[in-house]
């Protein structure tokens, strides 16, 4: 990594922010109703009830998932960690599968709003289990494996519920699992915005501890920092973001895994306060870009994120010969 | 101001990694060498002391967290309670890290990493230094440099505790803590010879 002048840094920040604004505007202008340049459309229901919530959702979810992924990678010291590793997304899927099954077999009626609540409850339940288990498991690797196992367990139950669900309801379940920014209202956007504000507030307050914690447990202890407290902060923050976003948008793949790595490509700093904005911006760009493309090609968001993102990252890894240890 | 520092006693069962250390009072500005065979418990002792003395303690070891890509300069900056650019520039110069100040930790060589860890504690400026084989991976030049840096710390009233396999480092210490099977005994540092211990 070479030194980069502050002028260069400013230009990069400005350019990336411009890309976010540009993509956001593009996402407001384009939709299933086609392009809308005319001013009268700006006051229409399509704009306020569909496009604006969808655009804002992509924007905030992108940032949230990217940050969640970044903190989990930092916590587990593992570049492959992402919001799905702790089993939180599986918990949400399980909730949705349960509601879909119960809708047929118990209530005999399907409540669409319940899906959302169930996803949120499922994600939070997994998070709670992890928090309780965390007290006994002081080894992070064990916790990681525990989370993955929890995910498998939820996945198995999910399959059982799917099997029991009515044929008519199954497509709902499958569409939800493909991920989407489109089935949201401004209220949902507000939920995610609030979670983001809370989480960023917590991390900014603890930024120095997190930086020192990343250097290792012994160094943290030597500077009066309690490692378990810092890891709890990171688990809570990434877990809350994942839970809320997954509940509203479904299990969005790839953004949480790739955005932190991509952010580090164009941004030189590695301390919390200086890296978080770059990670968030990168997440926003990926989410908005993929969402616009998903609408343009009429494909689910998860297919787009992985279809475009994965080869790109593979190519970058293949190209990059200068990496040595990590 | 106190002229001495209390080093806490440690009694640990075999289950936690056996360690028997009676605790001792040490003059400020003194140095302690911890020596013993492989697996005797030198690192266990240092880590146990770290847990008991936590607070503003300087910790040096050659353990490197995987996938850590924080930059050299950032590591030195976050070590300081009150950040000063002057201090950062000073330690970067002292440990010849200027040329690699923008490199990530993950691309450093073992010797460069060790110098960074030493630079980090220098910037942290603690009362007590706990160092696990601080001369590991250092080349002949920096080994010599480290000796004068440790002397400098001692002159400023710091207590420096380090484990070592180097007789010179043992002999120049004020105290020697000999570790054997998790038991610590106090020995005369100046007269110590590894040869006399033999293979037991």
Going along chain B from its start, the domains and CATH numbers come out as 1-56+126-186 (3.40.50.300), 65-125 (no CATH)
Would you list which residues of chain B are within 8 Å, Cβ to Cβ, of chain A?
47, 50-51, 54-59, 61, 63-71, 74-75, 77-79, 101-104, 106-108, 120, 124, 126, 130
Per-residue pLDDT, A114: 78
Instruction: Give B9's DSSP letter.
Output: P
Confidence (pLDDT) at A326: 40
At residue A64 the predicted structure's pLDDT band, cuts being 50, 70 and 90, is very high
- A292-316 pLDDT, tens per residue? 998 888 888 888 888 887 887 788 7
d(CA A248, CA A243): 9
Query: What chain A residue is nearest to B79 in terms of C-alpha separation?
Result: A212
Q: What residues in chain B have per-residue pLDDT under 50?
A: none
Collapsed DSSP state (helix, strand, coil) of residue B113: helix
Confidence bin at A45 (pLDDT 50/70/90): confident
Contact B65 A216 (CB under 8 A): yes
- Tokens 């990493």 belong to B113
Cα B91 from Cα A214, distance rounded (Å): 21
Break chain A into its structural domains and give their ranges: 6-317
pLDDT digits (tens, 9 = 90+) for B42-98: 999 999 999 999 778 999 999 998 888 999 999 999 999 889 999 999 999 999 999
Query: Looking at residue A185, what DSSP letter applies?
Result: -
Chain B interface, best mutation among A71, A208, A210, A218, by max B CB count within 10 A: A218
CB contact under 8 A, B107 and A211: no
Q: What is the pLDDT of residue A111?
A: 65
pTM for this entry? 0.90
> What pLDDT is stored for residue A104 in this prediction?
65
Q: How far is B190 from chain A (nearest CA, A)?
A: 29
The three-point CA angle B97-B61-B54 to 5° equals: 110
- What does the alpha-carbon distance between residue B24 and residue B8 come to, in Å, rounded to a whole number? 7
Is the pLDDT at A276 greater than 90, yes or no? yes
Is the domain A6-317 a CATH 1.10.3470.10 member?
A: yes
Q: What 8-state DSSP symbol labels residue A40? A: G
The predicted pLDDT at position A324 comes to 46
Helices A272-297 and A207-214 cross at an angle (nearest 10°) of 90
Which helix (H) or strand (E) segment is B61 a member of? none
Q: What is the mean pLDDT of residues A246-250?
A: 86
């Amino acid at each position: 990594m070479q030194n980069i002048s502050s002028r260069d840094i400013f230009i990069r920040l400005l350019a990336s922010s411009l890309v976010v604004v540009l993509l956001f505007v593009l996402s407001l202008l384009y939709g299933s109703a086609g392009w809308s340049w005319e001013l009268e459309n700006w006051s229409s229901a399509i704009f306020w009830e569909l496009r604006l919530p969808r655009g804002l959702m992509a924007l905030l979810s992108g940032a949230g998932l990217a940050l969640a992924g970044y903190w989990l990678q930092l916590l587990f010291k593992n570049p492959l960690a992402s919001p799905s590793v702790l089993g939180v997304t599986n918990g949400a899927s399980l909730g949705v599968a349960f509601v879909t099954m119960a809708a047929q077999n118990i209530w005999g009626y399907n409540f669409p709003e319940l899906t959302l609540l169930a996803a949120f409850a499922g994600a939070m339940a997994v998070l709670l289990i992890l928090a309780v288990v965390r007290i006994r498991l002081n080894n992070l690797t064990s916790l990681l494996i525990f989370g993955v196992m929890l995910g498998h367990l939820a996945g198995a139950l999910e399959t059982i519920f799917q099997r029991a669900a009515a044929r008519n309801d199954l497509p709902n379940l499958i569409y939800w699992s493909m991920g989407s920014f489109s089935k949201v209202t401004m209220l949902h956007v507000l939920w995610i915005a609030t979670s983001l504000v809370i989480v960023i507030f917590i991390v900014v307050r603890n930024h120095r501890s997190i930086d020192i914690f990343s250097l290792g447990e012994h160094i943290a202890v030597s500077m009066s920092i309690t490692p378990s407290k810092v890891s709890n902060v990171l688990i809570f923050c990434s877990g809350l973001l994942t839970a809320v976003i997954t509940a509203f948008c479904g299990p969005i793949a790839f953004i949480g895994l790739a955005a932190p790595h991509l952010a580090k490509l164009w941004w030189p700093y590695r301390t919390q306060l200086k890296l978080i904005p770059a990670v968030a911006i990168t997440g926003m760009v990926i989410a908005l870009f993929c969402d616009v493309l998903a609408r343009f090609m009429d494909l689910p968001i998860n297919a787009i994120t992985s279809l475009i993102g994965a080869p790109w990252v593979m190519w970058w890894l293949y190209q990059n010969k200068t990496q040595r240890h990590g | 101001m106190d002229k001495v520092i209390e080093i806490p006693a440690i009694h640990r069962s075999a289950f936690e990694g056996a360690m028997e250390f009676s605790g001792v009072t040490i003059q400020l500005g003194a140095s302690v060498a911890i020596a013993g065979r492989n697996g005797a418990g030198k690192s266990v002792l240092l880590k146990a002391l770290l847990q008991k003395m936590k607070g503003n303690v300087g910790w040096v070891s050659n353990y490197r967290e995987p996938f850590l890509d924080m930059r050299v300069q950032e590591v030195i900056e976050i070590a300081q309670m009150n950040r000063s650019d002057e201090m950062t520039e000073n330690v970067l110069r002292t440990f010849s890290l200027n040329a690699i100040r923008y490199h990530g930790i993950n691309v450093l060589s073992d010797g460069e990493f060790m110098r960074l860890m030493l630079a980090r504690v220098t910037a942290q400026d603690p009362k007590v230094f706990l160092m696990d084989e601080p001369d590991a991976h250092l080349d002949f030049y920096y080994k010599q440099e480290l000796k004068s840096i440790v002397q400098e710390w001692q002159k400023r009233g710091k207590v420096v505790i380090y484990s070592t396999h180097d007789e010179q480092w043992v002999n120049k210490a004020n105290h020697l803590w000999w570790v054997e099977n998790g038991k610590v005994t106090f020995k005369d540092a100046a007269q110590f010879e590894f040869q006399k211990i033999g293979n037991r």
